[in-house]
Chain A
Amino acid sequence: MQLLVNTLIAGSFAAIMATGLALVYGVLRVFNLALGQFALVGGYVTWWLVQPLGLPLPVGILGGIVCGALVSWLSFEIAVRPFYKRHPLLPLVSTIALSQILDGLIQLIFKEQTRSILIRAKEMVHLGSAVISMEQIKLIIFTVVLLSATAWILHSTSIGRRIRATVAHSQAAESLGISSALLHRLVFIISGTLAAIAGIYVGIDQNLTPVLGFTITIKAYAALIAGGKGNIWGAVIASYFIAAIEQLAVGIKWFGYYLPAGYQGSVALMLIIVLLLIKPTGLFGRTSRFA
């Protein structure tokens, strides 16, 4: 039961990140390796507003989200827009550079210390044999609401239909009057905002450290690739799948002893690599045929 609860907590965080990634990949066909740093910006700005400045938590969260959105918009203009129409692989390299710059700025401004948005003792609740904090319950519910809202926007609104049309066939969508430039910018900002929300999630549930950015990004991309690139729901399911592997790797005895917690991430990444060697299109990806 505790493993299931832990999977839900870790998977919810990864699912928020992976949703944004899948949107960007589906629409722009680019990888953004600075996404983990957007998460850190959201988390650290919220920490700064709530802890040193003493503002209420909702104000801090709003500030973190707005800052995450602003940074992702600026990042799109500086490190993605000049490159992505020339070649889809260029942003992969330019966003590596951006991740360096953001990492350096975060370390300069917030120092290399662990920070937690909530420093008070958490109220724990027993669910059968499992223990979970009230904050974690709220975060899991919030993820469900956020993913449901994303589904509703994608399937029941005009902007969602435009996004899906661009994912299905960008040139045909453009010929029907959908402004791809505006849509690309919008989707990139939504992805960055979702990452900032995920960063706030980490800051509330655990601790923020400046070196976390790259690991977050790679784990989220592993989920995206394992789920089938561009497939939002595939990425969400793969996020929970990876979280389950991580929990199982260290949560149960293997050949009579427990694996140290430090191997958690390695086991999941190795398994994803093996999975992709067997099925390169991912769990829910389809192979395209070209005439």
Chain B
Amino acid sequence: MPDMNFFLHLVISISVVLMNGLPYGLILGRGKILHFGIMGTSLVSTYGIFLVLMNGGGYFLGFIAGLGIAILLALVFSWLAFRLDSDSFGILTIALHLALLAVVLNWIDLTGGAMGIAHIPRAPGLGDPRYFALVTSTVALIWGFFLWKIDRGPLGRRLTALAENPSHARSLGISREKVYTTVFVLSAVGSVLANLFYPQYIGLVHPSDLTFYFMIMYIMFIVAGMGGGIPGVALSCILLTILKEAIRFLPFPSGALGPLRLIVFGMILLVAVYLRREKLFPVPRTV
């Protein structure tokens, strides 16, 4: 039966998901940009932070390294977005993520390959799970509030205009380059925040936590919650993370839980796309 530790685990998991998922709400939900590479950003930022940390660099230097490399990748994604059609961009963000994952899995001397990086120490003051939950939830709340303000401010309106009609938005002086680059960088910051905490919590950086399966979870969070803006995405992140964690208590053999989770979340995403099909990619207004 779930106990206090499970409750704290839920709080930490939800907080981490919110840090990464809310800025993605701006990209896919508000901007309708088919960017499927945020797990690629998570991958490089996680390895950036913890390779520096485990080689004696400390948490601050690790954070700076992770942030730098994540922003660099966000700029590459922006460049791709300006050069390609939206569907080709979507496919190539997945391709870039898979290519980066292959590098991580094969550069064993540096990354530990499929074994990942073990024995990650927690930052000072975060040893107790209660403090860990308190700090992560506070960071998630502040980050969520900041993104909510962004979503309701000029940047959110520019994103909406670009999503509705890029040509009209450009004629109003909205720079697609500036807006896209800003939201991609915001998403990179979210990835760094999330991946600063999660590997500390489990004491391990593992490449299987950074596969495309997790990207699909984020797509699902946004599609399911996009009707309500940032609060809607936050609610969707909370409810679906609880469901994801609760599935482990179902009376199925452990080998069947992974596939079952894929089927359940695949169905939820399909139903969410069906129900949100008008809002996900609305037909441009002609009058």
Contacts and interface: CB of A to CB of B under 8 A. Distances in A.
Contacts of B270: 78-79, 94, 97-98, 101
Interface in A62-110: 78-79, 82-83, 86-90, 92-94, 96-105, 107-108
Interface string B60-97: 00000000000000000001100111111011101110
Interface stretch (A114-122, A129-137, A260-268): A260-268
A100 B83 contact: no
Interface residues of B, number: 50
A101 B263 contact: yes
Contacts of A225: 88, 91-92
Given A31-B91, A266-B103, A273-B80, A100 B281 contact: no
Contact of A276 (B88, B103, B262, B274): B88
A92 B90 contact: yes
Interface string B184-204: 000000000000000000000
Given A97-B273, A98-B270, A276-B84, A262 B102 contact: yes
A107 B259 contact: yes
A108 B256 contact: yes
Interface in A205-220: 214-215, 218
Nearest to B98: A218
A229 interface: yes
A271 to B, nearest CB: 10
Main secondary structure, interface of A, reads helix
Contacts of B84: 276, 280
Interface in A131-172: none
B34 A86 contact: no
B219 interface: yes
Given A90-B277, A93-B223, A277-B80, A215 B98 contact: yes
A221 B91 contact: yes
A178 interface: no
B277 A83 contact: yes
A14 interface: no
B79 A92 contact: no
14 contacts: A90-B280, A93-B223, A93-B280, A97-B273, A100-B216, A101-B270, A102-B266, A104-B262, A262-B105, A266-B99, A269-B96, A276-B83, A277-B79, A280-B84
